[in-house]
Chains A and B, each alone.
Chain A
Amino acid sequence: MGDLLRVITDDGRADPATDPNLSRDELISLYRGMLLERTLDQRMLSLQRQGRIGFYGPSVGQEAAIVGAAFAMDPRDWIFPQYREPGAALVRGMPLREMIAQFFGNAQDPIQGRQMPCHYVYRAGNFMSISSVVGSQIPLAVGAAWAARIRNDPIVCLVYFGDGGTSTADFHTGMNMAGVFRAPVVFLCNNNQWAISVPVRKQTATETIAQKAAAYGFEGIRVDGMDALAVVSAVRAAQRKARGGGGPTLVEAVTYRLGPHSSSDDPTRYRDEKEVEPWRKRDPVDVMRNHLVARGIWDSNAEKRLHQELDDAITEAVHAVEAAPPPAVDAMFTDVYEGVPWHLDEQLRDLREVRGGR
């Protein structure tokens, strides 16, 4: 682990050589984003267990990588998520009500119940729509970044994927084309060690993910993904390089998926809890909190207040959206194309007739 970029030292202080020097407010805002993601996960998993939402994919252990990377970008930059980045959408200002309505998939869901939970989109925050196909977002991010370059816009694209995603053809093609066209992209590999039940050593024979960048002609860096400041530092440098015409960077954030892959997954089937323990001691939310305390800008009262605030915000959002009815049947037929072509229109009319006009 010697080659890992780290900022927060074991005693909770920041290494001045690598510290991104965030302001007090920025540090707290970053921590808030991480804790919001953690709290949201806990609450949504509980809703899922109660049968109130159908599915959930938690991010526990990856909050520093997810929130830290989004935090390091400019708001005008585009984010191409995998499917485990609610914290990044929230950094981009996605209202909790919209996100939680997406989990319920009801009439208040901006995408009208068309996708499984955890497939939200937020264009106002340049946060791309999510596919469940692993890796398919990578060429899209490269294309958007390339387009920004063609238009001479100072826009950089951040694309998230996991260690499993690096095995896909889309990873190879995307990395290759980004290198060839010097597309302003930051590739953020959240190496959480597990693609459902398959460990990273069975995804790749290379020692690290970061070293793959060399084959595409650009830089790869490896950061401690449990350390939010290390992620901010690396991603910010990559973003600036890309915006300045220096091309793409692959950032490997070494993290650990502390929870299950999703609400449908049971990790005890394939991994030893003993393996998880050391990583749990490096819980990214704890690491960041300890750092704030070490800086003297955080204490247990502030922590308590923040917990309460986030919990209340989530409760409020759940209450605001849960009772909404299912989407109208029409919503199944709209947005397939810009208009509704005759064949879809006819199918909808036939369906309504069978349903007694509804």
Chain B
Amino acid sequence: MPPMNLVQAVNNALREEMRRDDRVVLLGEDIGRNGGVFRCTEGLIDEFPDRVFDTPLAEGGIIGTAIGMALYGLRPVPEIQFMDFIYSGFDQIVSEAAKMRYRSGGQYTVPMVIRTPYGGGIKGGLYHSQSSEAYFCHTPGLKVVVPSTPPDTKGLLISSIRDPDPVLFLEPKKIYRAFREEVPEGEHTVPLGKAALRREGKDVSLFAWGYMTHVCLDAAKRAAEKGWECDVVDLRTLVPFDLEAILGSVKKTGRAVVVYEAPKTAGFGAEISAQIAERAIEYLRAPILRVAGFDTPFPYTLEDVYMPNADRVLAAIEKAMGF
């Protein structure tokens, strides 16, 4: 197959799973004839006219009815056009999808994948830029997955669709079309709960997910010019996250920088920091540092200032090395 970007990888994963399993159905706003505002579902309605549904403009309804479909035995993959619009479906996710298996003693389950583009970088301002993964990571019963490359997007999305529990699948929209990579044709899965080591180094561990993985790779490249070698750990799954990969890296380097786009306070990076502090403090040669978004709404004009970039990550690396 020719190399694919992230949008094409989403499309390819959906198409192949829909061919393999007729229980997989898609629903969302503008996902049919229009192929989704980012074109992730382009052409799928032609191949599966009875399994791709344009819905009324109601995120709570999209998620709520998708839960009902999953209860019935389908494998719905609802799309929320921007993560910023997911909140009217928040109650459905938290109160129904995430709790169903528990509250029914396993009698009813919700095998559903909510796909949604998240994060900044497209000049979307307050309502097309948010990274609100922490709300969902705080919800027992839900899994949260964030790919950062086209092959992972395909492999993780297919694994999520086959997973027996509800999954929130966050697509980093800034890099939807930023680059292409080889994506394995046909059967390709990436297990949930496993991180990927994107770059190896002995001095500092950088932990990230989604687009921030690429920011860390840039920073690591520049750090290498100064003689500091970084591990870049792409978490890929936030719930359940890969503790072994995190501890393995930090025990080797003794320095940890956690990088995330969301507002700093109580972001998921705070959890990673706490885990490292609880379990590996004796290995640390510097304080655990966080490079994150600010505790403000996501701004429009000053977007580039708001989002963590390689400069800020490099400054944190320098601080860790100089401690």
Chain A interfacial positions (CB closer than 8 Å to B): 78, 110-112, 114-115, 119, 121-123, 128-131, 133, 136-148, 150-151, 157, 169-170, 173-174, 176-177, 180-181, 334-338, 341-343
Contact = CB atoms under 8 A, between A and B. Distances in A.
Contacts of A119: 103
Contacts of A150: 25, 50-51, 69, 74
A174 B58 CA distance: 10
Across the A-B interface, the 9 shortest Cβ-Cβ residue pairs: A143-B68, A139-B64, A143-B65, A173-B61, A129-B104, A147-B72, A123-B107, A144-B68, A140-B68
A133 B91 contact: yes
Nearest to B193: A341
B67 A121 contact: no
A133 B88 CA distance: 14
B102 A335 contact: yes
A218 to B, nearest CB: 15
Interface in B241-289: 243
Q: How large is the interface on B (under 10, 10 to 19, 20 to 34, 35 or more residues)?
A: 35 or more
A128 B109 CA distance: 11
Interface in B51-77: 51, 53, 55-56, 58, 60-61, 63-74, 76
A144 B240 contact: no
Contact of B105 (A148, A157, A335): A335
Contacts of B186: none
Contacts of B65: 139-140, 142-143, 146, 174, 177
B60 A143 contact: no
A41 to B, nearest CB: 23
B69 A177 contact: no
B99 A131 contact: yes
A146 B101 CA distance: 21
A147 B69 CA distance: 5
B114 to A, nearest CB: 13
A141 to B, nearest CB: 6
A147 B165 contact: no
B90 to A, nearest CB: 11
B108 A121 contact: yes
Nearest to A119: B103
Contacts of B76: 143
B92 interface: yes
Contacts of B70: 143
B105 A136 contact: no
A123 B66 CA distance: 19
B102 A336 contact: yes
Contacts of B103: 111, 114-115, 119, 121, 129-131
A163 B48 CA distance: 39
B142 to A, nearest CB: 9
B100 interface: yes
User: Looking at B56, B64, B100, B243, which has the most chain A CB atoms within 10 Å of its CB?
Assistant: B64
Nearest to B106: A335
Contacts of B96: 131, 133, 136-137, 140
Contact of A139 (B92, B100, B106): B92
Contacts of A145: 68
A338 B73 CA distance: 16
Contacts of A128: 71, 108
Nearest to B241: A343
A59 to B, nearest CB: 21
B74 A129 contact: no
A143 B67 contact: yes
A110 B95 contact: no
Contacts of B100: 129
A129 B67 contact: no
Nearest to B105: A111
B150 interface: no
